[in-house]
Amino acid sequence: MHRTRPAAALAALSISACLLAGCSTRPGDESDRRKASPAASGAAATPHIRLNAADGQKHVSVRRGGRVTVEAGRITNVSLATANGRAVRGAVSSDGRTWAPDAVLDHGTAHRLTVVAAGADGRKVTKKIAFTTVAKTDRFTGTFTPDNGSTVGVGMPVSFTFDKAITEKKAVESAIEVSSSSGQPVVGHWFGARRLDFRPQQYWRANSTITVRIRLDGIKGAEGAYGEQDKTVRFTVGRSQVSTVDAATHRMTVVRDGKTLKTIAITAGAENSPTWNGQMVISEKLISTRMNGATVGFAGEYDIPDVPHAMRLSTSGTFIHGNYWGADSVFGRTNISHGCVGLNDARGGGDPTQDGAWFYNNSLLGDVVVVRNSDDRTIAPDNGLNGWNMPWDQWKAGSAR
């Protein structure tokens, strides 16, 4: 690896580059270079310098802004410095075609970049630009679920939440690619200006691998909001498990890979606080938690410690969880909850023989729980990870692509 050198050393490097560099042309490639046929005429192609910023550009990526690529030639000199004269160290690749800073550039800093490249015949090309990197206050970030390397249920969407309102939705959505090893087409849908979910038309196919390519670095999301994330995330879809709660019969049927695994007696929402209907996705698992009605609009009605095996189904506070305070006789016979689905269980979750423990231990984040025959409306698609309740045509209409 060669590093940027003082002028005296660069002269020797320039001579070496002229002796060693080769040149080539590709049929039909006319982008910013001269067409040449060395075999026929002995002419060499003019070096073409590619930069990741334009002269005078602002909000330039701190990761890509100082990088240099040369085609039909080799780099002989690179000078990158801040406006106050502080040099930015970097290295030339072994083939002399690329140069990159040793570290990411400083945010909100003016830079000057000069690049000299030479062709096989010694002809030199120089390019100079000045640019300013994006300020820390002008960045946006997307947090997302599920996590890289996780194994999830078939209902788990890919969900992004941005820390700033996005106005350039097409640019942001186009910079995120979600694909499945099953070949299922995947479409994004915007819920407002800060949330973007991706899913296929039907649940993910069991045992497939989902790849999420995030290429937001340098993407303008809004005025004063530029992305910096550049990563690839992969997660696995496990077995297919969909559990159907019938609020009228007070039973839940757990179906795994098309076969009934277990039927469990439950208690759903009472008459004055029914459970949402619809397809709900498990988004959080808590072995034990405290549930206070004040957090979900039932102030003073309950405050229960050590609620076992709680699994979140909605942002608004719907859970499927163990219940130790109800009499055994309520399960399978009546609905007594404030909107959750309750399973017979022991306080704190210490008894593995209870129905709540069994369901918790046999559930993944992303598993689907379907509620039917409750005296409430269908849950909103953006209340939790529950976009499956939106018709496919409506889902596609919410894409910005």
Annotated catalytic residues are 321, 340
Whose structure tokens read 């700033």? 164
Quote the CA–CA distance of 109 and 248 in Å, as a whole number. 64
CB 371 within 8 A of CB 271: no
According to DSSP, the residues that pair with 320 across neighbouring strands are 311, 341
Strands 110-118 and 139-140: unpaired
Residue 374: closest CA among 282, 272, 269:
269
Strands 241-246 and 368-372: parallel
Residue 49: closest CA among 32, 30, 26, 66:
32
Quote the CA–CA distance of 226 and 61 in Å, as a whole number. 8
Residue 400: closest CA among 152, 114, 197:
197
| Degrees, nearest 5: CA angle 209-260-286 | 60
CB 247 within 8 A of CB 373: yes
Residue 239: closest CA among 387, 148, 145, 367:
367
Quote the CA–CA distance of 287 and 295 in Å, as a whole number. 19
Does residue 149 come out as left (phi exceeding 0), alpha (psi in the -120 to 50 range) or beta?
A: left
Quote the CA–CA distance of 78 and 210 in Å, as a whole number. 40
Quote the CA–CA distance of 90 and 98 in Å, as a whole number. 10
CB 237 within 8 A of CB 186: no
CB burial of residue 305 (10 Å; 0-12, 13-18, 19+): exposed
